[in-house]
Every structure is written in structure tokens, then in C-alpha cells.
Amino acid sequence: MSEPVPNAQATGSSWSAFLKSIASFNGDLSSLTAPPFILSSTSLTEFSSYWCEHPSVFAAPAREPDPAKRALLVLKWFLTTLKQQYASRSEQYGNEKKPLNPFLGELFLGKWEDDAGTTVLISEQVNHHPPATAYSITNESTKVHLEGYNAQKATFSKTINIKQIGHAVLTVPDPTQDGAFDTFLITLPSLHVEGLIFGAPFIELDSASYITSSTGYTAKIDYSGKGWIGGKKNSFTATLYPTGQEKDVIYNCSGQWTKAFEIHSGPVKYNSSKTLIGSWDPAETPASGLIVAPVEKQHPLESRRAWANVAVGIAKGDMDYVGREKAKIEQAQRAMRKQEQSEGREWERRYFTALPGPDAILEELAPVVGLSANGDADKTGGLWRFDVAKEAKAKAQKELTEDEKADLASKLLGQ
């Protein structure tokens, strides 16, 4: 990513009006009224795919017999996802746009087919107020499985600052013991928007995030940007140590999450060519493309089908049309919620269920990384876990006919 270049469209009065509106916004990102050229036609449900654009790196820990090295491979995979997650939309220059705010029940489904076999992605908007997205990613050959959910809390101080609420859980089968697996609890970094003043927004990650495992290893990833007195943007240093012994670093990784990084054994201060045991350069490993069904084959609640008209409006810059198409969805969704309320029921999530009680993984691992044991359920509408029974039910359902799809689109999306 190069330096932010002032965006020609963003030098006008609409951008200054936008900057003024940000300074007084209430923390609800969906209520930000951004100028047309900064609107994206991609919904936040699609962002879940960023966790796995290199399926072979995702699946690699399942082949490693040593638990410390397995934890290192998990850290490596996490670090390789950061570029996709936080910079892939603004790689050339800062042009991070405002994504579509998903409706309750919105789905984004896809798969990767490559050397790692088939890896399946399921992403669902599980809550609307406050908005929360849940996801499940499974590599079918190794059974490596990631699931999690996230919401965002924004504040304004000099720029937009975002605290991510939620967490992810990675399950990796232990290749040395049939049926055994390691569990990794992953926290989500805070971030802020840079380059706003130039009309060239991009993301910088803040402070630290953690990965802690049931096998007794913890990784701490410290993020830093370009400061007043030097440093490179999108930098990080990560250390892996036995849980509770932060000073006994076994491995460390450092570099730029948008560029290359190195992996060394031992603590950072001894890093040399002798301690170098690996590296990663995204330029050398192109991401595997996600395969998504053609829009006409999709379920009416699948993101790209549901937002197709809005996307056309955004591409044409026809904001009246965008406004009308968005309003149809919002009104139909409001009517649906009213009906559910009057019937004393809730929208049935298709793939995820809110846990009614405590979660064993969080009870064991959350205190290590400063997460709350209730998974911040009060801020995400629930402690969401992937429900295999629901997945089986969804799989067993026969494909909807065109008439059934049209009925659903009309009832749920006003289309």
C-alpha cells in the first residue's frame, strides 16, 4: 500500500460535509451518511471470507505433531489473514469504503477449492440491533474449523476508532491422537481509520490482540503504525510463549501485515539469520479465489442476490435508486420483526444458535486474553455458536423453486 493520495472526488464539499458529520456521529457506523463515491456494494457478511484466503495455510496446523509448532502455524495463519481483512479493499491507495449494513438473516455462502481440498464458508447476520455477523469455515480434508462472531463499537476522537467485539475459535485436530484437538481462542484487534483528511481512508490496527490455546501457548500480537518519529505503517511484532510466561518467548514474528514478515525462534532481541525459521510474502502466494454460486442460483437471503439492485445503483452513482432499494429492504425487515413480535417468536437463524448458558471454551481460555466469559453476548445479541444440526437441516432442504424464491424476496426484502 502506498502513501494516501488525495482522492479527487473527495476534495469537494460533500467530503467536508462528511468529515463534519463524522465529528458528531453517535457511534452507530450504519448511521454514517457517507457520500456516494465512498459507498461500497459489498456487505459486511462477505468480510468473513477474509479469514481464509489461503486455505493451505489455514489447514497446515493439522499436519504438525508438535503442539508449540502447531501454535506457531496458527499464529502464522492469523498474521496472513490481516492483509485481506484490513487492507485488501484499499491496496493501491486509501479507498476504504463504507460497506453495506447487513439485514438480519443475511447469508454469504461460498467455498474454496484448491490444494487444501474443499473449504466451506458460511457467514450469517445473526443480529441487527446491534449488528453482529457470525461465521464458520471448515476445511473438509483436515477438519480444521474456525467459527466466531463480531460486532463493532465506534467512537470519534481525531478519527473513527473501532473496537471489535466478539472473538473467533479455531479447532485443530491433533495428528498424534485420534479424536483429540486443540482449541485456539482468538481476540480481534481494535483499529482506526487513517487518511480521512486526504479523502483516502485506510485502516491501521491498534494496541494488541491475542491467540491462546488449550495446549498452553499464547501469542501476543503488538501492532504499530507510522509514528511521528519513524516506524513503518501496518507493522507488528508477535511473540509466542507458554501461557502465563510472557518473557519466555519460544518464537517471534515481525514485519508488516500488508507486506512480508519473518518468523524466528527465541525472543526478538536475538533475531538474526541463525534464528530465522520461516517467512511470508503475500506477493509470492496469491490468495485462492472464493467460489460463490451465480446470483440466480442463490437463496433470496444471500447477500449478493439480496443487494443486487442496490449494487447496480451504487455502480451507476444513482443514489435515489439506491435509497429506494435500501428502503424496500428496511421496510420489509421492520414489518417482519413486528410480525414476529406479535406472534411471540424470534427470527430463526439458519446456521447459528445463541448459547443459553456458559461456554466451556470461554470459561477456560477467556481470562487469559482479557475476554469476558459471556462472550460479550449483551453487545452482540448472543454468544453465537455454529449449529451443526441446523447446517444439516439446511443441507437437507430441497432447493427453492423460482416462485418460492420470489415469495420470500417479496416478504422479507420487499422486492
Please give the residue ranges that form the binding site for ligand HC3 (CB under 6 A): 29, 32, 34, 38, 44, 47, 50, 85-86, 96-99, 150, 152, 160, 162, 164, 193, 201, 203
**Least distance CB 44 / ligand HC3 (angstroms):** 6
3-state secondary structure of 210: strand
C-beta of 64 vs 147, nearer to ligand HC3: 147
All three cell numbers of 5, joined, read 493520495
C-beta of 236 vs 251, nearer to ligand HC3: 236
C-beta of 39 vs 62, nearer to ligand HC3: 39
All three cell numbers of 271, joined, read 533475531
C-beta of 32 vs 68, nearer to ligand HC3: 32
C-beta of 27 vs 242, nearer to ligand HC3: 27
Single-letter residue type at 166: G
**Least distance CB 179 / ligand HC3 (angstroms):** 31
C-beta of 28 vs 262, nearer to ligand HC3: 28
Contact assessment for residue 385 and residue 145, using Cβ atoms and an 8 Å cutoff: no
**Least distance CB 304 / ligand HC3 (angstroms):** 17
**Least distance CB 29 / ligand HC3 (angstroms):** 4
Between CA 235 and CA 8 the distance in angstroms is 28
**Least distance CB 135 / ligand HC3 (angstroms):** 9
Single-letter residue type at 409: A
In our burial notation (b when 16+ CB lie closer than 10 A, e otherwise), range 141-159 reads: ebebbbbbbbbbbbeeeeb
**Least distance CB 365 / ligand HC3 (angstroms):** 20
Bond preceding residue 130 cis, omega within 30 of 0: yes
Between CA 52 and CA 49 the distance in angstroms is 6
- Please report the sign of the dihedral spanned by the C-alpha atoms of residue 404, residue 391, residue 107, residue 91: negative
Helix (H) / strand (E) containing 146: strand 145-157
C-beta of 98 vs 326, nearer to ligand HC3: 98
**Least distance CB 65 / ligand HC3 (angstroms):** 31
Q: Any idea what the Cα angle at residue 73 is, between residues 67 and 78, rounded to 5°? A: 130
All three cell numbers of 253, joined, read 514474528
